[in-house]
Structure 1
Amino acid sequence: MESTESEPADDHGTSVTARGKDAGGDGATAGPARTILEARDLNVYYGEEQALRDVDIEIPEKGVTAVIGPSGCGKSTFLRCINRMNDLVDAARVEGELLFDGKNVYDDDVDPVALRRKIGMVFQQPNPFPKSIRDNVAYGLKVQGEDVDEETIHQALERAALLEEIDGRLDESGLELSGGQQQRLCIARAIAPDPDVLLMDEPASALDPVATSKIEDLIEDLAEEYTVVIVTHNMQQAARISDKTAVFLTGGELVEFGNTEKIFENPDHDRVEDYITGKFG
């Protein structure tokens, strides 16, 4: 398929230039990363309605994988399958396999609470607890029976690029922080137990451009240590920060998955090209 001459646009009409972290640079090519998450013939139903259809995907460890697609295409459903958040929805039914480090997370002997210690999640709206900043970060550790010390709390806040801004204020309520700071506090809470994977469901969609830029910089930094899977409705954001991109389209179908640069500049499927260029909503 020939690349389109015009660049895709984001929600504000700004052109999208795909670069991904594996694009550009000196052209050096690293070897293939180990697969840490894999879906095999994954189907998800909410009652009689099918939300995901025959999804097969292999997500490499570390780096950023973006999940894009129109509203209602199953992006968030896929994300919530990874750490079994859909278990909390009575009508949800999952068929097929979803492997984390080679183990099907839906096997009977998998403890969902222990799984979520290894696969953390950050939601669209910042949701700090009405507790101190310190207690917010420590919450996940305490729930899982882990020891909590100041070094662990400071380390999580530092990794979340928040420590410097709130140093000396750890006893203040997390609700007193700005929206962007609250989201980074939630990220600190998610990474305090030192997970392997960090799931993010549109983590910057409720934030202003300055806060969004800080979150994007943080995501790229976190990808040095963690596997980050981010759902975003903003194609420009996906092009800026991700290494791999998965495109879900209407009907819960994963239509294409590959290097971000290729997905945005020369996709294999007409439907993906139509979506990227705005011909398909």
Structure 2
Amino acid sequence: MQVIPIDFLEVLEELDPKTKNAIIKLVKFLGETVKREDFVELKTEVEKLTISVKDLTTSVKELTENQKKLEEKFQQLVETQRQTEEELNKLTGRIEQLTERLDQLTERVNQLVEAQRQTEERLNKLTERVEQLTASVKELTENQKKLEERLVKVEEGIKLTRKEVGGLAHTVGYTLEDRAYKSLPKLLKKDFDIDIEGKLIRTYLELGKEKFIEVNIFGKGRQKDKQVVIIGEGKSQLKKTDVDKFLKTIEMIKGFFAEKIIPIMITYQTLPQVDRYAEEKGVKIYYSYDFD
């Protein structure tokens, strides 16, 4: 029976079980057919084979590691590809949005261009109208100048007419007042039991420093042993506003007299309602036909 050396067994122990069993069977088989020298040579070959197997195992292990790393890299590549696709999809969506906005912007620009064209047309028409208006204004200015020149002449005529009318009004008013001065004492005696002291006059009353007010009829008298002051106003055609203005005058001057004021107004004519209004306010009205 062939004995297997211990050192050879130690080498066999380092091999994987299948390889070790295969070699042991091979040794047993050879032990029956080969010599010791052949066995030593076989041992050497087996050792080489063992080394080769170890190298192959190492290579397989390295290949396995490399394969694992390759798979990891492949997974990373797959993940990267997935992320890239997601980014690409997002980018595609943004590009579509941008394209849509660009289309909208293009449409708005077209609208703006059209609006600008219409504005230019309107501006051209407006410019034409302004030019026409400018010409019209120029013509109107010239006409206005001519009209002003005419108005100056008319105003001068009106001033002259007013002056003449004013003079005539003063004449009429003075005539009415002059007649009243002679007749009023009798009328006041009859209506108010007033005896005029002196005579009635046209004068200015001094209300303050360099402040005077014209009074058409002024005089003093006695009424039942009491002194009174006669204040009168003459109007050719008496109106309600004349009555109100006269009452304001009375209000202004009554503080300058301690005596009672008798307000009277004289006129050629007035409306019945004005007559009643004056009577309600305590103003006696005398008409031109009351005077002798």
Q: TM class by shorter-chain length?
A: under 0.3
* Higher RCO (CA 8 Å, separation ≥ 6 residues): 1
| Bigger-Rg structure (1/2) | 2
More strand by share: 1
Give me the TM-score of the superposition, normalised by structure 1.
0.23
Give the structure-2-normalised TM-score: 0.22
